[in-house]
Each structure stands twice: as structure tokens, then as C-alpha cells.
Amino acid sequence: MAKTARSAIRKAKSSAIMPVSNPSRMVRPLTRVILMVRAGGRCEFDGCNEYLLEHHVTLTEGNFAQLAHIVAFRPDGPRGRSGKRPKNINDADNLMVLCGKCHDLIDDHPEEYSKRTLQEYKRRHEDHIRHVTGLRPERKTAILVFTACIGEQNAYIPFDQILEALAPRYPIARPGKVIDLNALRMEDPASVGAGCETIRREVSRVYDVGGDVDKAKHLSVFALAPIPLLVFLGTQLSNKIPTDLFQRHRDLENWTWKRGRSSTKYSFKKIRDGTAPGKVAVMLSLSGTIRPRDLPGEIDRQYSLYELTLSGTSPRPTFLRTMADLEEFRLAYQDGLAALMRDHPGMTQLHLFPAVPAPVAILCGRELLPKVHPELLVYDFNKSKNNFTYQLTVNTHEQ
């Protein structure tokens, strides 16, 4: 049998086993351009990062990159039978930009460099290149990280998740301002007061002339702490500096806001009229439902009781998904405060019972105007006592 005939038969058998839509090894010019741009002209093997548009010894310019198939061109090649084969074997999603040494390594040891491993190398490298090339001076931000023990668990925020969440912004300095109160157990008013004093002192330094915020003209806040401390933190943040607040998302366990418009609406309503016009309490039923019977006994029938909650759906921990959702809350909170002041002109104190995520708690403090709004008495749910207990007062003249 002629050599060309045998070759044709082999090709036919291979196609019968696992056909590909493009049997040629030729990669389209546009695909090559896309791959090189996504890779930044560097080897995508994790930890290599060799620049491939210049000879490493002579510095002569040229294209020294190789395009490697993640799933091999042929089914009997490296990773060739790793699940369903791509419809187009030469698609950009199935190709990596590699130096020659790394190309040989992954193909000589396919058992160590699986399809999933190489896809992750490619994704991380290309995400990094996209992030770095998107950085511009006006995208700089200062970072404030605040953590405190919640119950019996210490809070921790990984810095790589902060970087991911900031994109396309980037930190003007690392690690930014870190306020770590994990060693301080919030067991009584004295410990809460000590925590607030630390927050007051450290946040004031954030705004020092010549500091990170002064240089970046922008602040990004990442916080995990008991709600009362978060509310107090909000009172210390300047309204004169553009500030982004971030949320830890339970579904993906990261801090990156979802994209898109707000899908969350809020409702502010009166639950009952009180007998004393100046006594007012508000339940923030957002992450969970608060019932009037959950409130301490002193919030009796003298108090007018209001609720700010989700509109058209039940409270749940995962409701806050986008920055637009947070902005919608800010507007609803401002409207609620305005309505309370209109309907209760003699009100000097407002009792707040929050079931809210961290950035909402921060906004509850940040949106208060010292000479306009009443003092805010903040309560927190005590699991051991199964009720709300008073923690601290914010928006006082001393602040």
C-alpha cells in the first residue's frame, strides 16, 4: 500500500474516533495575535514568565514563542483524550503561549500537567496581564483593612483577594493601612470602647497630609468585624474623599463585586406608633429577619418602631451583590432618616437594631451628619442570650 494511502487511512481512523472541525495545525493569524496580546508576550507556564519577543542572550527582537495545545492536536497526543475535545482544536482557549522548554515539559509529562492545571495557569496569567495593562494613574487607591474577632472566630482578609476585588484600580502602597483588633474580645462596654478608640486613632492617620489617601485621592475599605465597630468605623471615614466599600461574598468566598445594575430594592415602613413622640427604634432586616419580640424589653410601647428591609423578597445573607445594591441602600437609608426627622421632630436619639452585611453597617455610620441627625444607639444580637444588647452610641458631639 502506498505511503500516502496509509497516511490517509490513519487520518480517517483518527477522525472517526474523535473528529475535530479543523484538521490543520495552522493557527489563524488573528488567533495568534489574540494569544500574544493576552499573554503579554510572556510564557504562560506558572512561574516562568519569560519574555518571548526578545532573545534572552543577544536581546535580538523576534518571536520566540511557541503555541502549545492544552488538549493535543491528535487524540493520542498529550491530554488528547482529557474529556470532551474542543470543537476547534486550534481555538485560542485551547492554546497557550509558552517558551520552548516549558512546551517540552508539559508535553513530556502530561500526567503532571493535566488539562485542568494548564487551563488554570493560562487563566491566572492572562487575568494578571489584563489587570496590569489596565492600570492608569487615576486608578490608584489607598487601602484600609479592618478586622476584629466575630464571636470566637478571628477575621482575616487575604491580600490576593483584595487585589482581585480592586481591579481595575490598584493599591498605591502595600499592604495599606491595617487595623487588626482580633486580639481584643468585645465582651463588655469597656472592650468595645477600647476598640473604638483604636479605630479613631488609626483612621485619623489614614488622612494625614502626604499619606496614601492624600496621594491617591481615593480610599478602598475592606472590613470584617462586629457590626457596632463597623458602624463606628463609618463615622470616622471622611465624606470628602471618594470611598469604595467592599463585601465578602459567601457564594464564591471572595471580595469582588458582581457587575451590573442593582437588582435589590428596599422598603421603609412603620411597624407601630409609639406613645412617646421622641422615642424611635429602627430594625434593619436585611441579612436576616428581626422581629419586634427580639428587641430588648426597654423598647416598649412608648417607642415608634420602623423597619428597613428588602422589598418583594425575604431577608438573606447573600442579597448584596453589586456596588449598585449598596448605593440603593444608601439612598433608602438617607430617605428613612429624613422621614424619621420629619415625623419625629423632637427625636434626639435613634435606637438601631441591625442584621446587615459589613459595608451596610459602615454606611449606617458614614451617612450620619453630626449637626443634623440624632445620636445613634447601636445594638448587636447576642447569641448566648438570644437577644439584642446595647453596644455603643455614635454621632455624639464628642465625635
Q: What is the DSSP letter of 42?
A: B
Walk me through the domains of the chain, giving residue ranges and CATH numbers. Answer: 3-133 (no CATH), 139-245 (3.40.50), 266-394 (3.40.50)
Q: Which regions of the chain does DSSP assign to beta strands (E)? A: 66-69, 95-98, 140-148, 170-171, 177-181, 219-224, 243-245, 266-272, 280-285, 304-310, 349-355, 375-382, 387-394
Q: Report if pTM > 0.75.
A: no
State yes or no: pLDDT of 3 exceeds 50: no
pLDDT mean over 298-305: 96
pLDDT mean over 356-372: 95
Q: Which of 174-188, 305-319, 320-334 has the lowest mean pLDDT?
A: 174-188
How far apart CA 121 and CA 45 sit, in angstroms, is 6
Q: Which of 2-6, 257-261, 298-302, 384-388 has the lowest mean pLDDT?
A: 2-6
Q: Which of 17-31, 170-184, 278-292, 337-351 has the lowest mean pLDDT?
A: 17-31
Q: How confident is the model at residue 327 (pLDDT cuts 50, 70, 90)?
A: very high
How far apart CA 337 and CA 368 sit, in angstroms, is 9
How far apart CA 328 and CA 235 sit, in angstroms, is 19
The per-residue pLDDT of the chain, averaged, comes to 90
State yes or no: pLDDT of 9 exceeds 70: no
Give the pLDDT score at 128: 87
Q: Which of 187-191, 286-290, 305-309 has the lowest mean pLDDT?
A: 187-191
Q: Which of 151-160, 185-194, 312-321 has the lowest mean pLDDT?
A: 185-194
